[in-house]
Chain A
Amino acid sequence: GAGVSQSPRYKVAKRGQDVALRCDPISGHVSLFWYQQALGQGPEFLTYFQNEAQLDKSGLPSDRFFAERPEGSVSTLKIQRTQQEDSAVYLCASSLRGLRGDEKLFFGSGTQLSVL
């Protein structure tokens, strides 16, 4: 597609439910990032993929968070047994090449997760 696409745009979950958030990056982009943005805060890094390889998952807050990008394109962020503190906007971004600090990121519109 022309840009980074994320779905769903909004997700309401009951505490304890599992959720799956989808990111479809720009075609051909090697790098894919997931960020978490709490209300009034900046994006906080969660995890990074270069093609299908998850090279950095140091930002995942707990083992309830899991991400994958099995074919090097679409990525899914899964949160198990959701808690209220998981409520945030989850942003996906992609960039053309891998392991490059000088590249601009292309962001999706995010998934706003509300855990009740």
Chain B
Amino acid sequence: AQKVTQAQTEISVVEKEDVTLDCVYETRDTTYYLFWYKQPPSGELVFLIRRNSFDEQNEISGRYSWNFQKSTSSFNFTITASQVVDSAVYFCALSGFESYIPTFGRGTSLIVHP
């Protein structure tokens, strides 16, 4: 069985603050894949990043960065210098080499105030 936990239901920050969204996962697969998706008010989930279980290198893309730690089963997402346009619900998801149906967390609603 796969499980994704996003303990933070809602985070509210002021523009230009840094913010980290937490994601903790459980899986029995030895090979698995972690994802982050963004859901703006329009409703359509948009893919942000995928990380393979055998690649623990952290990644940075502009103001976004991801910290994958197998030892703590976490895949956290940091937005640096947040902007109002970052306001959305962010979902962490997990799928495995055998359990190929993606499982989603309940999401974290990020509100960035001007």
Contacts and interface: CB of A to CB of B under 8 A. Distances in A.
Interface of A: 3, 33, 35, 40-45, 48, 56, 89, 91, 93, 99-102, 104-110, 112
B85 interface: no
Contact-residue bracket for chain B: 20 to 34
B47 A109 contact: no
Interface string B32-53: 1101010000111111001010
Contacts of B95: 101-102
A42 B101 contact: no
Contacts, number: 64
A99 B104 contact: no
B43 A45 contact: no
A42 B104 contact: yes
Interface in B85-111: 91, 95-107
Nearest to B47: A104
B91 to A, nearest CB: 6
A92 to B, nearest CB: 11
Given A43-B91, A110-B43, A110-B44, A102 B33 contact: yes
A104 B46 CA distance: 9
A104 to B, nearest CB: 4
Question: Lowest 4 A-B CB distances belong to which pairs?
Answer: A101-B95, A101-B100, A42-B104, A107-B45
Contacts of B9: 40
A101 B101 CA distance: 7
A58 B91 CA distance: 22
B44 A108 contact: yes
